[in-house]
Amino acid sequence: MTIASKQTTVGFIGLGVMGHSMAGHIRKAGYPLHVYTRTASKAERLVADGAVWHDTPAKLAQACDVIITMVGYPKDVEELYLEPDGLVAHAREGAYLIDMTTSSPLLARRIYEAASLKGLHAMDAPVSGGDVGAREARLSIMIGGEEGDVKAVQPLLSTMGSNIVHQGQAGAGQHTKMCNQIAIASNMMGVCEAMAYAESAGLDPETVLKSIESGAAGSWSLSNLAPRMIAGNLEPGFYIKHFIKDMGIALESAKAMNLVTPGLSLAESLYSQLAEKGLENKGTQALIRYYTGE
């Protein structure tokens, strides 16, 4: 089965900083869209554009061929999928369940196994690209699940992302996302230190960026988040509290594999200090505050 536009009913649960844009792209592509989010007001624009609102995930599940989730924490994912009133219990037989939350690889396996027993197709498909990637439909989507299932939902995923890669069996998408977050964690420290150094040396940080962002130091964080640091814009493209959650999952997974990750451990400790100062709802670029002492 291939998920075809205008023939497949899609449910989207979780309309936050990234989820709202992602759901909007699905609707614009012509898919009948059903939505649920804990804060109903977040769905108002989509409903005005033709989406159907449901007041429980179970009711949404009963109406949809494909259900996508983009929520906050592994505990939210577990409750949403595995509780008696959750998606696995109420989804139509043969439905596709795609969790795009960054969550636990072990939990992804549990959901896959529970779904398979009910004749459902479950995949873990976390994303990278932040609010900009979500708005511009340029997300990187890393998928764990059966190859045939991934091929079936490829057209739908293509409405949200430009780099869609099947990484392996259930849980492989989440493990890949941990690789992504580990790389970002140390890189963010480097970006902040570079900007703090430029400022301390009396340089213009914007001019410095013109030289270093296209060279060997170039990275997504340097090009997209350093300008926000320079402008003093700490609003979230990705919340500090969610990054701390991701780093915690990565640290736990690394420990289980007997892998030492000192850079990740240091980054997690610095971000935790920011959260203790009340910055947990700011964007990850707020790490610059650690270096500037503001």
Residues tagged active-site: 177
Stated length of the chain: 294
Angle at 21 between CA 18 and CA 22, to 5 degrees: 80
Q: What is the C-alpha separation between 82 and 117, in angstroms, rounded?
A: 12
115, 88 Cβ separation under 8 angstroms: yes
DSSP code of 284?
Answer: G
Spell out the residues 6+ positions from residue 9 whose beta carbon is closer than 8 angstroms to its own.
Answer: 31, 32, 34, 63, 64, 65, 66
- Return the HEC string of 159-204: CCEEEEEEEECCCHHHHHHHHHHHHHHHHHHHHHHHHHHHHHCCCC
* Residues 275 and 244 sit within 8 Å (Cβ to Cβ): yes
Give dist(CA 179, CA 134) in Å, integer: 20
Q: Which residues pair with 163 in a beta bridge?
A: 140
Q: Which residues contact 42 (CB under 8 A, 6 or more apart)?
A: 15, 16, 20
For residue 252, the one-letter residue type is E
